[in-house]
Chain A
Amino acid sequence: MNVAGAGFEPPSSADFIFSPFIGQSAYLTKPIALVFLSVLFISIFFIVAAKKAAIVPSRLQFAGESLYGFVRNDLGRDIIGPEFIRFVPFLFTMFTFVLVNNIFGIVPFLQFPTMSRFSFPVVLSVLTFVVFHATAIKHKGLGGYLKEIMFMPGVPKLVYIILTPMELMTFFFTRPVTLAVRLFANMFAGHLLLLVFILGGDHLLHGAIGLKLVSPFAFTIGIALTFFEFLVQCLQAYIFTLLTALYIAGALSDEH
């Protein structure tokens, strides 16, 4: 990379593939280590935050409670409605897990958003898929649920030929796919963008004198983009959980 005279090698999807720490095991790579780290971090954080619960909360307890209150009230109660409380653990786990793994993208030394490897969002999206369908089937019965999806009330019979396949596709294909792809693509693109500016800046720094002068601009944009990435990372964790809550709300509603 910093060998003089070598051409700049632009970051690519190859930068998302890590070699194993030990031997050839495909399970001992950085993204997987990060997932374990995130679970460890979230567990310790909330155990410590909840341990000495007091009426006048410590700063840590306040942080933990605010986060929990946000998911419970804004994502659970306001969207799902009266039966929200049994979905709060799921939503809360989902939100904190995605949030921490996204933010790993800009944490010094970790610097890799786990969700930019497609299989992680896929697993989370499958979880959501199972939860909202199971909820709906439990709530409405399989027949009732399918009927609700396929036959919108108040539509002429012939129109069902056009609408029914689209509805089925939305519920069983597009919803889980868009959920996974949105999270993956945002994290992937964001990480790539940071790589371009920061590795690019580094390359310029090792170039000719004219290039050295330009290098600070690349780093400046890189730093600005890091802050921007922080926003995107929080927003994507929020949207992922918001959509999960919306799908569960749809599964529980009787209006259609």
Chain B
Amino acid sequence: MSAILRDAMSQQGTPESGPKNPGDGAAWSIVSYLLSGLIFWGGAGWLLDRWLGTKVFILVGLILGAGASLYLVWLRYGRQ
């Protein structure tokens, strides 16, 4: 294959060229994972607090949620 042809092809980009490079848009979709962890486990802790009349579980829930979110993001995007 001539160099000119190869150049032209690489510039055009083959249609099958890899589906999504995660670095590109991943940053924007990570936001929803981080929020999910905080809202779900923070919310669960808050409900538990209301039920038991305590004040500690919302904190536990938020920390658990934040940690689990980061773990989930790593699972989804980080471990190729």
Task: With A175-B32, A246-B29 as known contacts, state yes or no: A166 contacts B20, CB within 8 Å.
Answer: no
Contact B39 A243 (CB under 8 A): no
B32 CB to closest chain A CB (Å) equals 4
- Asked, given contacts A174-B32, A246-B28, whether A166 binds B19 with beta carbons under 8 Å apart, the answer is no
Q: Which of B1-9, B10-18, B49-57 contacts A (4 or more CB under 8 A)?
A: B10-18
Contacts A162-B68, A169-B40, A246-B28 hold; do A178 and B16 have CB atoms under 8 A apart? Answer: no
Q: Is A79 touching B64 in the complex (CB atoms < 8 A)?
A: no
Q: Provide the B17-60 mask, 1 if CB < 8 A to any CB of A, else 0.
A: 11111001110110111011101110000000000000000000
Chain B positions within 8 Å of A, measured between CB atoms, are: 13, 15-21, 24-26, 28-29, 31-33, 35-37, 39-41, 64-65, 68-69, 71-72, 75-76
Which residues does A use to contact B, with CB under 8 Å?
A: 73, 77-82, 152, 154-155, 162-163, 165-167, 169-170, 173-175, 178, 239, 242-243, 245-247, 249, 252-253, 256
Could you write out 25 A-B pairs with CB less than 8 Å apart?
Answer: A73-B13, A77-B15, A78-B20, A78-B24, A152-B72, A152-B76, A155-B75, A162-B41, A162-B64, A162-B68, A165-B40, A166-B33, A166-B36, A166-B40, A166-B41, A167-B36, A167-B72, A170-B33, A170-B36, A174-B39, A178-B35, A243-B29, A246-B20, A249-B19, A256-B76
